[in-house]
Each structure stands twice: as structure tokens, then as C-alpha cells.
Structure 1
Amino acid sequence: MSVIVWITEGTWPACVDAAREHADERELVLLHVTDDAVPEAAHGAFAGLLGRGHRERDPGTRLEDLSRTAAEDLLAEAERRLDRPARRLALHGRAEHQVVRAAQGADLLICARDGDRAHLGPRSLGPATRFVVDHAPCPVLLVWPDTAPGLGSLPPPPHHPGP
């Protein structure tokens, strides 16, 4: 079985550090998901407005190349920080769906909080991470990318009017 480490810009170092601490000798999979929405929008805009017959000037292709290179660089940097061999998995599509699919059969999924980092609570998760936490088919280790906020950041209890 394996440990999946979801690598995202901005939070990946905490996930890699958690993997080094909790993965033991299990296979590690460094997972990065590229959202194809921006290149697809560029392809569509170019084809619809500017580029009929000039595919070589399509900016969507350049964006795809840049995204692929950025993902490869990020996965390589994560593996260097991990300081042990890991399988790299670069997927495309909606991140939350791809992560849940990739976690099928895993022993553990490691991901980081990516929302409000100043307060404890549900807003510390962005929408994609909230989806993954709610739908993951395996245990999830959810880490803070920085030092966790103190208990003083807890919201007050809800006010319940009397009878």
C-alpha cells in the first residue's frame, strides 16, 4: 500500500515533512494535479477570435507547456526535500476529483490546509481540500502549512436565545 502526498503550490513543504515523519517504509506517491481550465479557455478564445488556421500561435499550447514544466519542477523539488525515492504522479483535471480518485486503495492521504491560516476552524480549508477531506476513500492526515494558530482564534460558541 502507499501514502499519497498531495503537492500544491504554497503548502507542499509541510506535506512532504509530514510524509517523512509518518510514512515509515511505505511507498510514497507525490501527486500534483494541474487544472486545465486556463489553457482550455486560451485555446477557445484563440480559436474563436483570432486563430483560425494558425494553430502554431495558440497561447493555450504555451500555457500547457508552462504548466507541465511547473508541475515537473515542483514534484522534483518535493522529492529532493523528501530525501527518499517516491513515485511522481502528475494528473490533469479538477484537483479535488483527481485527488480522491488517486487516493483509492491508499493507506493514507497527506494534504495541507489551504484556506484561512490565521484561525482554527472550517475556513482553514479551501473548497478543493474540503471536498477531498469529505470524500477521501482512505484516512487523511491534514497538516498546517505553517504553525497552527492558537486556541484564541476559535470562534465564540453560537448564541442561543433563551426560551
Structure 2
Amino acid sequence: MRVIAWLVEGTWPACVDAVRSHAPDPAEVVLLHVSGPEVPGLAHGAFAGLLGRGHPERDPGDRMAALGGSSAAELLDAAAERLGRPCVREERSGWVEREVVAAAEGADLLVLARDGDRSRLGPKSLGPSVRFAIDHAPCPVLLVWPEPAPGLATIPPPPPHGP
């Protein structure tokens, strides 16, 4: 069995705990972190457009990409320690949701956490990247709440036109 746990800043502990609870001991566990191109790309663009003529060595996008990589490594280290068993650490970069789906190819389970409005039950508790991964995952998905789930009273009311 191969289990992929998609780790995101702020919600990763819930994913690791879910793997500890639901993946059998002999399962291969892959801790996955994906860095998107947005922040370094914005820094590159801003520098080139406003400040960077003639001084590519001052481009802050490269430094931001390096900081993102070290942050991802620290997150993966903390997750591996919390998991407390052998695992593979995988870092990817690109379109986050597409990289997650690609990483899940051939897996037996994808574990991910809600990333939207977590104050109430319902579809808005899923952000666009998580929704994409759920809709396109080539394997079963375990979707976890990063904190205790809200109560049933938070379910939106039924539509006014009735059943």
C-alpha cells in the first residue's frame, strides 16, 4: 500500500495524524509538499519591471525560491518526526493541485486537509486546490479537518424551493 500525505503549512499535522491512524504499518508513506511558482514569480516580475534593469544579481525572486525550499524541507522534517516511522519525503514545484494529482498516480490513498472556510460544514470548507485534487485524484481520498469539525448546526439551510 502506498499512501501520499499532501502537507500544507498550517494543516499538515492533521494529515500526518490521519496517516498514523489509518495507514497500516507496512504501508509506504510519502510526505508531499508542493511549492507553487506564485511568490518567487511575482518577485522576479516586480524586480524586472521596476528595479532590475542591468542588475540580475539583485533579483529577490531567487532568494524567495531558496527560502521557500528551506521552509518546505523544515516542514517535511517536522512531519517525518511527528509521523514517527519510515517515510519518503517528496518536494515538488509547479501548479500545486496538478502536482498533487500527479504524485497520487499509482497510490492507494491520498490524504489531504480542508483549506477553505473551516468555521462551518459545507463545500466552502474546500479551497480551489483541494477541490481540484479531490475531483481529479486517481485514487481514494481521505479528507481531514485540521481541527475538530464544526457542529451540524453550521450546515447551510436547505434551498427555499424545498425537496
TM-score range, shorter chain: over 0.9
Q: Unaligned stretches of 5+ in structure 1?
A: none
**AA aligned opposite 2:74:** D
**AA aligned opposite 1:91:** R
Please give the alpha-carbon distance, in whole angstroms, between the structure 2 residues aligned to 1:82 and 1:145. 16
Displacement of 1:36:
1.1
**AA aligned opposite 1:132:** A
Displacement of 1:44:
2.1
DSSP 3-state at the match of 1:137: coil
Please give the alpha-carbon distance, in whole angstroms, between the structure 2 residues aligned to 1:50 and 1:84. 48
Alignment of 1:77-156 (within 5 A): 77-156=78-157
Q: So what's the TM-score if we normalise by structure 1?
A: 0.95
**AA aligned opposite 2:14:** A
DSSP 3-state at the match of 1:116: coil
DSSP 3-state at the match of 2:116: coil
Q: Deviations over 1:76-99 (max 9, x none)?
A: 000000001110110001111100
Please give the alpha-carbon distance, in whole angstroms, between the structure 2 residues aligned to 1:114 and 1:51. 36
Please give the alpha-carbon distance, in whole angstroms, between the structure 1 residues aligned to 2:131 and 2:2. 22
Please identify runs of 4+ aligned residues in structure 1 that moved more than 6 A.
none
Please give the alpha-carbon distance, in whole angstroms, between the structure 2 residues aligned to 1:49 and 1:11. 36
Q: Which sits farther off after the overlay, 36-45 or 103-112?
A: 36-45
Please give the alpha-carbon distance, in whole angstroms, between the structure 2 residues aligned to 1:62 and 1:49. 17
Please give the alpha-carbon distance, in whole angstroms, between the structure 2 residues aligned to 1:48 and 1:125. 35
- Which residue does the alignment assign to 2:4? 4
Please give the alpha-carbon distance, in whole angstroms, between the structure 1 residues aligned to 2:160 and 2:56. 60
Please give the alpha-carbon distance, in whole angstroms, between the structure 2 residues aligned to 1:134 and 1:119. 21
Between the two proteins, what is the percent identity of the paired residues? 63
**AA aligned opposite 1:52:** R
Please give the alpha-carbon distance, in whole angstroms, between the structure 2 residues aligned to 1:128 and 1:114. 9
DSSP 3-state at the match of 1:64: helix
- Which residue does the alignment assign to 2:18? 18
User: What's the C-alpha RMSD, in Å, of the aligned pairs?
Assistant: 1.4
Q: Which sits farther off after the overlay, 152-161 or 73-82?
A: 152-161
Displacement of 1:38:
1.4
Displacement of 1:41:
1.8
Q: Deviations over 1:34-80 (max 9, x none)?
A: 01121112112222332233222110011011100000000000000
Q: Which sits farther off after the overlay, 33-42 or 65-74?
A: 33-42
